[in-house]
Amino acid sequence: MKKSFTCMLLLSSLLASGAHAAVPKGWFVTGTAASSYDVGTESSARVSGGTSVYLRAKEENAGFGSVMQTIDADAYHGKRVRLSGYLRTKGAGKGQLWMRVDGADRKSAAFDNMELRAPQGDHDWQRYDIVLDVPNDARDIAFGVLLQNKGQVWADGLKFEVVGKDVPVTDDAAHTLPGAPVNLGFAD
């Protein structure tokens, strides 16, 4: 009887803590060092709803890990889509939302991983948006939450939706590439 009561007490304290070390249904883990990251859900750290997802580096300089999913792009051809959600970080190298649209040739047609605007270190909950156009020949759309190098990131309130063309895209790569080669003689 005492052993059974102790087991029940231990189980209830684990459930009360709200942390679950498991990948949420529909999501999978990937990255350069996916095994160097713990992924799970937590009901005690959230902005909306009942649960947030987290990635936690097991060691510093762990490369990057991501919890993600991929969907068929057919329903989104010719449309603009937005991935939005809230991120919170603790000691993070970088905590990021990311989204990639792959074309028929399986090459990236649009991409944003918040590289230049990702929270680093310790940051409280803040909303972030990624907005990309989906070409008519797009094959799939991949998206998720990413953590680079160290620390922890939580994500909550994720939303994937079609938006109007009045919402600006966040794909910086299309706007930062020069139209022709630059400084080929290394003079500058």
Reported as a single tens digit per residue, the pLDDT across 103-119 is 988 889 999 999 999 99
Q: What is the pLDDT of residue 175?
A: 52
Please say whether the dihedral angle defined by the alpha carbons of residues 46, 48, 53 and 56, taken in this order, is positive or negative: negative
pLDDT tens for 132-142 read 999 999 999 99
At position 32, the amino acid (one-letter code) is: T
**CA 131, CA 162: separation in Å to the nearest integer?**
9
Q: List CB contacts of 85: < 8 A, sequence separation 6 or more.
A: 97, 127, 128, 145, 155, 156, 157, 158, 159
Give the range with max mean pLDDT: 39-53, 91-105, 173-187: 91-105
Tally of CA atoms within 13 A in the half-sphere of 88 that contains its CB? 15
Q: What is the mean pLDDT of residues 92-105?
A: 95
Between these two residues, 34 and 108, which has the higher pLDDT value? Answer: 108
- At 122, which helix (H) or strand (E)? strand 121-133
> Is 90 exceeded by the pLDDT of residue 47?
no
Against a cut of 0.75, is the pTM above it? yes
Q: What angle do CA 92, 50, 33 make, to 5 degrees?
A: 35
Question: Per-domain residue ranges for the chain?
Answer: 18-175
Q: List CB contacts of 8: < 8 A, sequence separation 6 or more.
A: none
Second CATH level (architecture) for the domain 18-175: Sandwich (2.60)
